Structure 1
Amino acid sequence: MTLMLTLFLLVFVTELINWIGQSVLLEFFYALYLRIFYSSTAARQRKLKSEILLNKKELLQTSAQDQFAKWAKLRRSVDKGLADLEKLNSELSAARTAFSLKFKTALWIMTTGLQFVIGWWYRKAAVFYLPPGWLGPLTWWLAFPFAPAGSVSCGMWQMACRRVIKVGERVAKEVMAPSVEGSAGQVPTEQKTGAGTGKKDE
């Protein structure tokens, strides 16, 4: 029973991740990672961006001919700010690339990789046994490749769980779709009744 539940949960989590999308999860967890480990860098980046925008705005309003000293000072400030911002962007970009690689690797190990390991480790074990003669000569197929005859192997149980979860997902989407379309395409009562009414001639 423990093996059956473990394999089902692994398949369920894997399909749930596929349904949500790795990119969505990556963005969510990277935002947390950034807030925990790079909060000061991100704060400096935001502050630097706002300073550059203010200096650029002031630079555009300053005449290079009439106020050359002020214009040159603002220009140097903008150039220095852009150079510093480029360094911060490179640092955060490198951090994102490293985090993305580690996150995707950990996600694969905890889902698909773990399924492979458990399936190989328990390749000769029976997840559960079928009633005798339940599927006749096809019973051997459910024990494929190494499980005892009359039982369901880990690989077949994973395949069955994946299939059932995908069917359940499709049914859930079909059930939710009409309600969403109905609420989006609903015409207000005033529009329905107001179109056919008119004032009577007095």
Structure 2
Amino acid sequence: MKPVRLAIVNDYEVVVRGLASVLAPFSERITVVEIDSRLPVVSDVDVVLYDTFGQVQGDAVRLDDLTVDTEARVAVFTWNLQPDLIREALAQGVSGYLSKGLGAEQLVECIEAIHAGEVVAPSSQPSADGDTQLVMAWPGLEHDLSAREAEVVALITQGLSNQEIADSCYLSINSVKTYIRTAYRKMQVSSRSQAVLWGLAHGFDPDRERVIRPHGD
């Protein structure tokens, strides 16, 4: 059986390259053909994995903007597992809604199932028992920012208000304020303008890159 041809999409190079590295040991089953930051997929792939870090979610996801000239099936990869978000994404035509709590083997199994024509939602995802946990990357990881803190900083750097961040991440406004407070302490900043400057200097400005790997190299 040929490996599933996969494209990984997110606005941050460190995120897409990190996911590609996670999947590299499974190259006989998954071939990462293309990774994209702020660009649509152009390669002939089977599945597009859309990482929601710092991105729109739910019914705001526009599949046509992701795939353009390919009929690939799309899977959303996210921490946000609210039932309404899952329903909205599936109603848009997404073929998989995958939790970032999955292990590496589980993620590969889900991608293979999506390629086989299944619709994979959290309720149908395999058990994590005995699986190797994903070691993912995001901007600010080297400064001890958690994934949630980093996403909030990314959206601050993009110019979003606290309420817009809450709406985008499907968090309460109090949760957003807590993440901002703990992130600022780690970043050693005390104002929003300082946070934006820090973000721009530390990889939180969205990237624009396309890397095509014709042979999965």
Q: TM-score, normalised by structure 2?
A: 0.20
Structure number with higher strand proportion: 2
Structure showing greater Rg: 1
| Bigger helix share | 1
